[in-house]
């Protein structure tokens, strides 16, 4: 009798708990559904960008149309597009990605096969490093409309991130055949770079720059990428020229400022490099600027500043990772970035944990393999590093940092011939290489 009462009480408690959980999730979904997202005011130099007046006008027009007709799917798509572009311009992905996702999901609730909504959702997934989800959704969209250039661009990006490089090339060719423009030229450039063709990559990125309007964020982003290609080719004069042009066309453009910082580093002008990186960091929420600051602080012996800045990066990335785990609509996977951030503070266990997480999501990607190889190298597990660096080299990339890391790993595993070959390739063009990596590589080459 007592057992029956106990069972009854346990069943009631279980039902109550399930009901509480369901109500909690229902309430959270209701809050998300009813949250209203608006265009946020820009501050400082961001408010002076040439597109800002038009962005505000467009947002007001779209909002007016939505208030007049909440079922207007085209206006939902337009608002999502506007928020995606604003995220790119300001770096406020945490807010604008949520905002865009809400409007996209509004469309997909009514029409699950809406092509534009599917392409935008796949784009958001890729932006948040949910690469497999983004690629799968882009494939779905392509099956609905196989004649749209934009979806092939997303397929290029998704296949690159998942390590399907042959498929990426095929989709880039298809994109180019439909619409040769800034987007298709830029992707062609990136693929040529992946396959080690720097002259071809530079040629394609020049076409991308010429296809865009000077001052537009997309155009100046391509110009900065062109500068970076010159950096990796050892042509600092042309790199600096393009960063300077980008800053003339788009005042205080963060990524051009970061490029100028690297130019300053190549001249050992450390104070100037710090100033450029700090300027960039105040303009756009991009952890890469702080990560590069950590390297400079370490280089000049400011260890306390380096440690403090590294901790800020790690804390913010972990915060975003927690969001990624708790909200399927938003949240940035940052395991590759976290792996490198933990390496900077010599926390090899955490670095390996995140490098493995990134690798397990996309084991065919060359960047994920390079990251894992480098973590094992830093841990002193040279034999474990070797197979991953071999995969990272499979596209014949000529990235000087990758070549240095490959040379160091081969040197430690006893293959002096390959070590010398990769290190000599890395130094052949006098490309920009982070100072500590450069010094270690030079020492290794001298000892071979």
| 218 within domain boundaries | yes
Smallest Cα–Cα separation from 285: which of 64, 94, 10, 428? 94
| 204 within domain boundaries | yes
Which range of residues forms the domain containing residue 200?
180-283
Q: How far apart are CA 348 and CA 353, in angstroms?
A: 8
Q: How far apart are CA 253 and CA 411, in angstroms?
A: 40
Smallest Cα–Cα separation from 81: which of 119, 52, 108? 119
Helix (H, G, I), strand (E, B) or coil at 282: helix
pLDDT for the residue numbered 324: 53
Q: Tokens 């690629």 appear where?
A: 135
| 86 within domain boundaries | no
| 92 within domain boundaries | no
| 185 within domain boundaries | yes
Q: How far apart are CA 88 and CA 97, in angstroms?
A: 10
Per-residue pLDDT of the chain (448 residues; tens, 9 = 90+): 444 555 554 555 555 554 444 444 344 444 445 567 999 999 888 898 889 999 999 999 999 999 999 999 999 999 999 999 999 999 898 899 999 999 999 999 999 999 999 999 999 999 999 999 999 999 999 999 999 999 999 999 999 999 999 999 999 999 999 999 999 999 999 999 999 999 999 999 999 999 999 999 999 999 999 999 999 999 999 999 999 999 999 999 999 999 999 999 999 999 999 999 999 999 988 899 999 999 999 999 999 999 999 999 999 888 866 655 555 555 678 899 999 999 999 999 999 999 999 999 999 999 999 999 999 999 999 999 999 999 999 999 999 999 999 999 999 999 999 999 999 999 999 999 999 999 999 999 999 9
pLDDT for the residue numbered 160: 98
CA distances from 210 to 152, 180, 189, 245, 363 (A): 21, 12, 14, 13, 36
The per-residue pLDDT of the chain, averaged, comes to: 91
> Which two tokens mark 87?
């995220």
Please tell me the chain's helix, strand, coil percentages from 3-state DSSP, rounded to the nearest 5: 80, 0, 20
| 264 within domain boundaries | yes
The structural domain count of the chain equals: 1
pLDDT for the residue numbered 316: 87
**End-to-end Cα distance, the chain:** 83
Helix (H, G, I), strand (E, B) or coil at 190: helix
| 363 within domain boundaries | no
| 50 within domain boundaries | no
Q: How far apart are CA 69 and CA 314, in angstroms?
A: 44
Spatial contact of 285 and 312, defined as CB atoms under 8 Å apart: no
pTM: 0.89
Question: Any idea what the CATH number is for the domain that residue 246 is in?
Answer: 1.25.40.10
Helix (H, G, I), strand (E, B) or coil at 146: coil
pLDDT for the residue numbered 35: 66
């Amino acid at each position: 009798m007592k057992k029956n009462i106990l069972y009854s009480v346990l069943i009631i408690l279980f039902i109550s708990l399930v009901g509480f959980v369901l109500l909690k999730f229902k309430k959270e979904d209701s809050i998300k559904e009813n949250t209203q997202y608006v265009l946020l005011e820009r501050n400082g130099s961001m408010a002076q960008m040439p597109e800002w007046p038009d962005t505000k006008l467009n947002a007001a027009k779209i909002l007016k149309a939505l208030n007049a007709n909440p079922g207007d799917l085209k206006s939902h798509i337009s608002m999502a597009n506007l928020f995606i572009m604003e995220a790119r311009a300001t770096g406020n992905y945490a807010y604008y990605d949520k905002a865009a996702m809400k409007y996209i999901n509004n469309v997909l609730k009514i029409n699950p096969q809406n092509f534009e909504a599917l392409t935008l959702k796949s784009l958001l997934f890729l932006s948040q490093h949910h690469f497999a989800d983004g690629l799968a959704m882009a494939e779905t969209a392509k099956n609905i409309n196989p004649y749209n250039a934009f979806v092939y661009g997303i397929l290029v990006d998704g296949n690159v991130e998942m390590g399907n490089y042959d498929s990426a090339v095929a989709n880039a060719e298809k994109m180019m055949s439909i619409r040769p423009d800034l987007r298709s030229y830029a992707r062609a450039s990136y693929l040529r770079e992946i396959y080690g063709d720097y002259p071809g990559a530079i040629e394609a990125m020049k076409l991308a720059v010429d296809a865009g309007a000077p001052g537009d964020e997309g155009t100046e982003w391509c110009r900065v990428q062109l500068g970076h290609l010159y950096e990796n080719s050892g042509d600092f004069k042309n790199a600096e020229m393009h960063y300077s042009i980008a800053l003339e066309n788009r005042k205080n453009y963060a990524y051009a400022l970061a490029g100028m910082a690297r130019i300053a580093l190549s001249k050992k002008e450390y104070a100037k490099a710090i100033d450029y990186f700090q300027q960039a960091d105040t303009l756009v929420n991009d952890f890469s600027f702080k990560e590069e600051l950590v390297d400079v602080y370490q280089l000049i012996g400011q260890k306390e500043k380096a440690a403090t800045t590294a901790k800020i990066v790690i804390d913010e990335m972990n915060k975003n990772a927690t969001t990624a785990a708790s909200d399927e609509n938003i949240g940035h996977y940052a395991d590759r970035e976290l792996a490198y951030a933990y390496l900077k503070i010599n926390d090899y266990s955490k670095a390996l944990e995140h490098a493995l997480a990134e690798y397990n999501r996309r084991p065919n990607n060359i960047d994920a393999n390079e990251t894992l190889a480098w973590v094992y190298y830093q841990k002193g597990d040279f034999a474990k590093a070797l197979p991953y660096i071999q995969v990272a080299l499979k596209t014949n990339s000529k990235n000087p940092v990758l070549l240095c890391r490959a040379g160091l790993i081969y040197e430690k595993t006893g293959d002096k011939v390959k070590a010398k070959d990769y290190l000599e390739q890395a130094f052949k063009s006098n490309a920009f290489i982070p100072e500590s990596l450069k010094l270690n590589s030079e020492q290794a080459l001298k000892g071979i």
